[in-house]
Amino acid sequence: MTIDVARVRSDTPGCENQAHFNNAGAALSPQPILDTVIAHLNREAKIGGYEAAAEASDRLKHLYATAAQLIGGKPQEIAYIENATRAWDMAFYAIDWQEGDQILTAQAEYAANYIAYLHMVKRCGVEIIAVPNDQHGQISVSALEERITDRTKLIAITHIPTNGGLVNPAAEVGKVAKARGILYLLDACQSVGQIPMDVKAIGCDMLSATGRKYLRGPRGTGFLWVREPLIETLDPPLLDLHAATLTGPESYEVRNDARRFENWESFVAGRLGLAAAIDYALDLGMDAIRNRIYALAQRLRTGLDALSGVTVRDLGAEKCGIVSFTVDGHAPADIKETLAAQRFNVSASRRSSTLLDMADRQIDALVRASVHYYNTEEEVDRLIAAVDSL
């Protein structure tokens, strides 16, 4: 399958305004997703929020089925969460942490996750071990195996880190976790919607995802997947009358599916928009999406690498749609603003977002240009020329 670029661009109003290369921040939503969200907001305004939600109940249930299809899970293993960070948190904080437990993570771990590890160090006395990289700059699977002890409670990595094109070997990590009987939490906020995902093939126990990035859904949407046998062993850090039922003055019963990690109130229009965004991606085909994104990214990477004074900073044996680079004599934040004036959207990634990785590489900040399938080769070439003009 191939992407009909003309059709997806005609579906995307934002393509008329700029060349959008900030898809790892928030992608441009297609018109069908906008129509879904706006239609439900209009319905709420006309008949009431609870009434509109009841009217849309079948379409709301569809979210669980389509999200499960996207990642190879089951509907009962899916929880709708308002963003990927909170989805990750709901899984991480549901683990029964004890003093001395170990967490194994990657050098390029996202700062929000690392803060949670430190929080648990302070709260429970756990230990964090950052596994070294291999020769490709990705997590070393052999080093991971060497650092496992009888106190290792969790392996948690970011599949595609925020600051570059690296794709960590998630399935290889999964084989190690499964062989050693260790919980495995995967932050997939930059990979879901960009590349085909199969939780069985990856071997993770929990996975968090967002709607706003490569799925092209609304902001404030995301989901959590938890492997079914594990669900009832996890104690959600927060419960309400949706996640649990009050059975008596001194008792309650928690749901036995992944929706125990949800709460009662949510962005209903956003949930419908997220389901529509997943349907849109599945209709195009995840293999076709991945192939086009990778091809555009490689075109950009090759073009930038040929420029004098430009250094492409991407690591990994496999590189995705995120292209990171620096330009001699120019601060990434200044480059971002200069390109914005020429109607190119990029972002600047600071050391604080992936502290261990960027400190180790002695990088304070870098420019992040993340392509999507609706970008064109002509846009990529114009961006290369714009960087060259610096």
**What CATH number should be reported for the domain holding residue 312?**
3.90.1150.10
Quote the pLDDT of residue 290: 98
What does the pLDDT average to over 15-27? 97
Reported pTM: 0.97
Residue 201 has pLDDT above 90, yes or no: yes
- Same-domain status, 221 and 252: yes
Q: Given this model, what pLDDT does residue 45 score?
A: 98
Rounded-to-integer distance, Cα 366 and Cα 358, Å: 9
Question: Do residues 209 and 349 both lie within one domain?
Answer: no
40 and 162 fall within a common domain: yes
pLDDT, average across residues 296-318: 98
**Mind listing the pLDDT tens digit for each residue in 161-185?**
999 999 999 999 999 999 999 999 9
From 283, 314, 337, the end of a domain falls on 283
Of the candidates 226, 108, 85, 222, the one whose C-alpha atom is nearest the C-alpha of residue 158 is 108
pLDDT tens-digit profile of 211-223? 999 999 999 999 9
Whether the per-residue pLDDT at 129 is higher than 80: the answer is yes
Quote the CA–CA distance of 209 and 218 in Å, as a whole number: 13
Q: What CATH code is carried by the domain that includes residue 256?
A: 3.40.640.10
Assigned token pair, 141: 């699977």
Tell whether 202 and 66 lie within a shared domain.
Answer: yes
- For the chain, strand residue ranges (E) read 19-20, 78-81, 102-106, 127-131, 152-158, 183-187, 206-210, 222-226, 244-248, 251-254, 310-312, 322-327, 344-345, 347-350, 365-370
Dump pLDDT digits (tens) for 354-364: 999 999 999 99
Report CA Rg, the chain: 21
**Domains: count for the chain:** 2
pLDDT at 341 (0 to 100): 98
Tell which of 283, 315, 337 closes a domain.
283
Whole-number average pLDDT of the chain: 97
Statement to judge: residues 210 and 130 lie in one domain: yes
Answer whether residue 1 shows pLDDT above 80: no
Q: Where in the sequence is the domain holding 321, given as residue range(s)?
A: 5-28+285-388
Residue 121 has pLDDT above 80, yes or no: yes
Per-residue pLDDT averaged across 42-53, rounded? 98
Mean pLDDT for the stretch of residues 193-211? 98
- Picking from 228, 251, 283, the residue at the C-terminal end of a domain is 283
Same-domain pairing of 120 and 244: yes
Residue 221 shares a structural domain with residue 203: yes
Rounded CA-CA distance 165/168 in Å is: 10
Do 99 and 120 belong to one domain? yes
**Are both 212 and 332 inside the same structural domain?**
no
pLDDT at residue number 57: 97
Residues 369 and 243 in one domain: no
Instruction: With a cut of 80, say whether residue 375 has pLDDT above it.
Output: yes
73-94 average pLDDT score: 97
Q: Which has the closest alpha carbon to 349: 329, 374, 323, 372? A: 323
Same domain, 228 and 334: no
Q: Which residue has the tokens 């972002």?
A: 347
Looking at the fold, whether 54 and 168 belong to one and the same domain comes out as yes
pLDDT (mean) for 82-105? 97
The mean pLDDT value for 124-139 works out to: 98
Percentage with pLDDT > 90 across the chain: 100
